[in-house]
Amino acid sequence: MDSLYLLIPIALLFCAIGIKLLLWAIDNGQYDDLDKEAWKILADDEPALPSTEQDGSPPDQQRREQP
């Protein structure tokens, strides 16, 4: 029974922190556009090409050739 005097205020504190974090996320626009990321997966974008150096060889081959 004595432990409830400690656990109940701790539970209320956690609930208050959770509500404050939820309101912060809503105010900062975290829930504004929920469909954007879902549609981004389905988009047919061109794959990114690996970056090449001046001589045109891939960067990993250039690193191997240098002593």
- CA angle 30/31/36 to nearest 5° reads 100
Distances (CA, A) of 63 to 48, 66, 67: 21, 6, 8
Q: What is the pTM of this model?
A: 0.52
Residue range 4-43, pLDDT digits in tens: 999 999 999 999 999 999 999 999 988 888 888 888 888 8
> Per-residue pLDDT for 62 more than 60?
no
Parent domain of 25? 1-31
Residue 16 lies in a domain: yes
Number of folded domains that form the chain: 1
Q: Kindly state whether residue 45 falls inside one of the protein's structural domains.
A: no
Cβ-Cβ contacts under 8 Å for 59 (sequence gap 6 or more): 50, 51, 52, 53
d(CA 46, CA 3): 60
**Domain assignment present for 58:** no
Does residue 2 fall inside a structural domain?
yes
